[in-house]
Every structure is written in structure tokens, then in C-alpha cells.
A and B are shown apart, each in its own frame.
Chain A
């Protein structure tokens, strides 16, 4: 099962390599990894999406907590959380198809961030499902390049009962 881990780490050189090395060295899988400083310049937040059964996820979390530079690890999977990823997609856009692409972009609330004679670059943010959907839709026009940030996530302030 896919798990989203939110990890606070000391913002110091080598911390990313410690975390990533833990995953590779122990044979755990990283689906996406996103890292940037928080309001406290000394602390960074990493969001890691990973897959595994409960026993593996338990090990991953414990092993992460054991790293001296890791301050806090939260598994957001069983909580309500906001998950977003930002993607830049450069798509082929011949004149004849441009309008259709822009209509899709509009529906998905994308931003057009670059235009050329036969290409459009779109910026989109959303959860996994939305990203998957737009990539699917744009594929038939020909996606030339894609850059994804990986999932960033925060726990929702109100944990309402479902």
C-alpha cells in the first residue's frame, strides 16, 4: 500500500543522503521524495511516498526515527491530509490542436507558463488522481517533457470523522 510520510529533519548537509541512503541500503522503495526548508531555517520537511506492507512501513518509520538528524516522522496515510504535487508539462501543440489543449488546461485549472509555435508548457498542481488524469489526457497530443516535484503533504487541521 502507498504511504505518505512527512518528515522533519535538521537542515544540514548530508541529511538527504542519510535518508535516501537508508531507503536504498535497506531495500525500501521511494516513489517520490520532496524536500525544502520550513519556516525555521534550521529544519526541513521531507515528504516521501513509499510502498510496502504494514511491517515494512513500520520498519521504515522506525529506521527513519533512528537517524540522528531526523526530528519527527508522521505517516499521513491513516489521517486526513492535503496532498499536492506540482507538474510542468511541455506538450506538442500544433495550431489545429491548440484550442483543445487549452480547453483541457482550463478544466484542470492549469496555467500556461510558456508558449511557442508548436509547444505549450503547462503548470498544474493537484493530488495524484488529478495529475494522473491530465497526463493521460495530454498524452495523445504528445508530451515532450515533464518535470514533477513529487508529493508535498500536510495533515488537515480538522480531522473529521468519515
Chain B
């Protein structure tokens, strides 16, 4: 079967089982768009290429499938960089196709030319420039394979226009073998034994779960282990949802804005079982005092994560799920220990910390709506069943602190790169993956304006995404730092002339609500969540509310500023 490059691409996407492609056309990719209507998947036209990548990323996080994005050359390609870097930092499987000028013009500063392979090299798992149509099908197969195996990540394929127009006899490779790429999945049995021994002797073990638990679908095994062995569990921001937030053994997020109980637990545990985490600096605080009283077991598929920041007693490079299954096998056999009893004192200790400093906020003396209360209300209304996307900043931290994630893949947030403007397009992606689910973007008035043009996308495709803006008129998190550490010099963090978000929503053909009174929060949110249209709810909240607890940058986790 003789196909053009454009047809090879689309046929290969079909064989990869791709259902949705997020994209934005241009001169370099027009041949693909010419063929697109003949293929069975949905193309979602966003209003900005950054929106397309974040939407593909949100789709991937929510569904566990590979997100696919298709943009044109030059500016189309460079607009994807932020989204690619976001996915790279959070290990999200994406394949990004960029158009490129014809091979004869590459390097000539041609119209809409950018060296996107060079530009994205530091923020992709791998990237390709396809120079010969004979390599196209194989390259696409490799791209999907690389994106979704090992430690997942974004892969970029750059497609020159003449390659898309050339023809070739089509054959899609069945299996891929790459001599230089062999992710290691199986746990080492000696190391499993070492962990089992450590578990037997520890009195104060702590499970620390991260995004890797969600990525490897290991949540059930974590739940089994925690319950069977009566081990308390804490999570990183990326790990929220990996363990049910409504389980009694869950003690919340650890780190800079983590719970008092989680932070105290880390620095008092005698064994930290870290699964699918990378010990980000926002998690560890001062490295020298992080988990200083305990041994650390670190399970991660990526060897570079291990001992990058924290020295580890038992390193295990393997798939999180397989490691947990192996531990489950070993520990399940052992009936000599009454685990319940062995760890009861420790669990009670953490509960005492939790009771003494619960996740709370000051409700006295302010007539303003508290942003934390808005998140709590969202949780009460949805009972933890919604998919929550967040922007970045205070809104993100409150969404992490005051909403309980019952299931994996229900929190979509830019944990590593901290990308403002991520949440809304990601919510669009998630809504496409789960048309029947309630998808809410928790936003700030600053962040939402970074990709607000995607309202047009949500309206065009009738995606009932809800945007709840915690509108404090500030770039809140930076303002908080200025208040606490920079003598209240609120330079450039006050957003004086925000648009009328309700009118803006209506201008785009979406719904808009504004909430100014505390008593309106629950009823208006309830009404908004019931609509079938994309909706903005602009909630005017306390302008100078801060996120607490807070560990100042560089301080030890136990040095928390509390409410």
C-alpha cells in the first residue's frame, strides 16, 4: 500500500489506537490536515499550541493513555515548549508532532523555521527529525514506545513538509527493539528481602507515595500494604490520589505546604518507604535533616532519581507496581508478626500531631470568603468524585490541601515545572477522555489569564469544564513570599485591572457566575456544577490569605509556619 507521509502518520496513529489529537494547523502540516477527515479519530482544535499540549497532557494524566499533539513548524512548534517541559518534569507520556520546513530549506532560516529538535532536546525523553520517509513509520512506532514505557515522558517527532508529501510502501513495525533503550522493570529479589527485613524491625515505618505510583497503576498495592501492615501514608503533590484521601491511614501531603502530621512523621520515622517519588526540593526542605532518624528505601523506575538528592539505604530500580507486588508476596506469607499492634503506637503518635495541628484556616474577623472554604465546598459537593485540575500557586496548594482525592488520576497539576496556565487546557483534555465526569479547574485570577483563550475550545466542543477562580486580585503565592520574606514589597503582584470574568465567559459563549458572599458559595457552585456548559465561577476571596503550613525555603520540614 503506497501512502504519502501525511497518510503514514495518520494510519500509524490509528494503529496506535489514538482517539484524540489536539492540534493547530499551519502551512507545514496542511498535508496532514488535508487527509485528517478520512481517519477515525477526533481532532480537537485548540486556540493556542500551548493549550494543545496541556490538553494532550491532561488527557494522558486522566486516562493513562498517551496524549497526542500536532502543530505546525516554527512558532507553532516553539509554542509547545512550555507544555513539553511540563510533561517532562511530571513524567507524562506524550507524543508531539511538529511540522518542519522542507528538508531542502532546513538551516536556511526559512519562513516559519525553528530548530525544534535542538530547542526541545533538554526537555524531552527523546526527539526525532525525520529526514527520509522510509524512516517515518518506524520513528512513530518508537516515539509511542518511548513515551509510554520505562519512566514515561514526552517524545517529539519533527516532520518536514516534503517528507509528508513523499510516498512510500507502508508497513508498520510490530515490535520495537532498541539496543540502547532497555528499561528495567523487575525488582531484585535480594533487595526485596532487605526491605522485608527492614520492615520487620522498624517500629515507625512510613509510606511515601509519588506520581510514579499513579503512573505504574500501583495504588491498589499501596492500599493493601498500608492496611495489612498498618503503615501510615503520606504523599507528594504528584502522589495525591495514589492513596485514598479519605482513608484513616492517610496523613496528607508532605513538604513546603504539607500537613504538620506528614512533615513531623517524615522526620521521626525510622523507615521511609519512598515509592515513585523523586525527592523534589519542595518536598525535602533542608536535605541534611530530611528523614534523618530513619532508613530510606527508594523504589523508582528511573535510576537517575535515586541518590540524586537524598542518600538511600536500599535503592530499587524497577517498576513500582512489580516491587510492591513482590513485597506483598513476601509480607503476606509472614504470619509471625502482629503488624497492627507493632505500628499502633506510631500511628497514634501521628494522629496526635494531626489533631494538634489539623489542616485548617483562620475564620475569625474576616468578612471575606476564605479560599480554603471554597475548596472544602467543592469537595463536599462532589464527594471526591470530580477530576480536579489546578493552575499554579496558592490555588494549587489549597486544592492539594483541602480536597481529598479518592482515586488516582483525579488530580491534574503541574507539580514539577509549576506551569501557570496548565490547568484549564488540561481540564479540557480530561473532559474529552471522560465526557461524563465533572471536571473542575481550580484557578487563580493570574493563572487563568495565561490560557483563557481555550474557553473558545471548550465552547466549540461543548465541554462542560468548570473553572472556579479563587480571585484574590493578586499573584497570590508571590505576594505571600513578599509578605513573609521581602518586607511586604508587593512589587508587580497586584492585578489591578482584571477583566470581568463573568462577562468574559459570556463573550466566549460560556456561562459565568460571580460569588461575593460566603453564603452563596455552596448554592452557586452547586448550580454551576449542574450546568452542561463550560462555566466560569469567579469567587472573590480574601485578598491577603496565605497558604499554611509553610516551610520556608531551605528550612527543615519540622520548622513550619502554622496558621
Contact = CB atoms under 8 A, between A and B. Distances in A.
A13 B121 CA distance: 13
Contacts of B304: 59, 62-63, 66
A71 interface: yes
A68 B117 CA distance: 14
Interface string B270-311: 000000000000000000000000000000001110111000
B212 to A, nearest CB: 15
Contacts of B126: 68-69
B364 interface: no
B302 A71 contact: no
B180 A17 contact: no
Interface of A, helix, strand, loop or mixed by DSSP: helix
Contacts of A18: 121
Contact of A68 (B118, B129, B180): B180
Interface in A50-68: 55, 58-59, 62-63, 65-68
Contact of B179 (A14, A55, A62, A71): A71
B303 A66 contact: yes
Contact of B303 (A10, A65, A67, A70): A65
A68 B178 contact: yes
A14 B180 contact: no
B17 interface: no
A21 B120 CA distance: 11
Contact of B308 (A10, A21, A59): A59
A27 interface: no
A69 B127 CA distance: 10
B302 A66 contact: yes
A68 B125 contact: yes
A67 to B, nearest CB: 8
B180 A62 contact: no
A59 B303 CA distance: 9
Interface string A101-119: 0000000000000000000
A129 interface: no
B181 interface: yes
B122 interface: yes
Contacts of B118: 14, 17
A21 B122 contact: yes
B93 to A, nearest CB: 15
Interface string B422-442: 000000000000000000000
A25 B122 contact: yes
A66 B303 CA distance: 8
B117 A14 contact: yes
Contacts of A14: 117-118, 121, 129
B303 A68 contact: no
A21 B117 CA distance: 13
A62 B117 contact: no
A67 B417 CA distance: 21
A70 B180 contact: yes
A9 B181 CA distance: 12
A68 B121 contact: no
Interface of B: 117-118, 121-122, 125-126, 129, 146, 178-181, 302-304, 306-308
22 contacts: A10-B180, A14-B117, A14-B118, A14-B121, A14-B129, A17-B121, A21-B122, A55-B307, A58-B307, A59-B304, A59-B307, A59-B308, A62-B303, A62-B304, A63-B304, A66-B303, A68-B126, A68-B146, A68-B178, A68-B180, A69-B126, A69-B180
Interface of A: 9-10, 13-14, 17-18, 21, 25, 55, 58-59, 62-63, 65-71
Given A21-B122, A59-B304, A68-B126, 18 more contacts: A9-B180, A13-B129, A14-B117, A14-B118, A14-B121, A14-B129, A17-B121, A18-B121, A21-B121, A25-B122, A55-B307, A59-B308, A62-B303, A66-B302, A66-B304, A68-B146, A69-B180, A70-B180
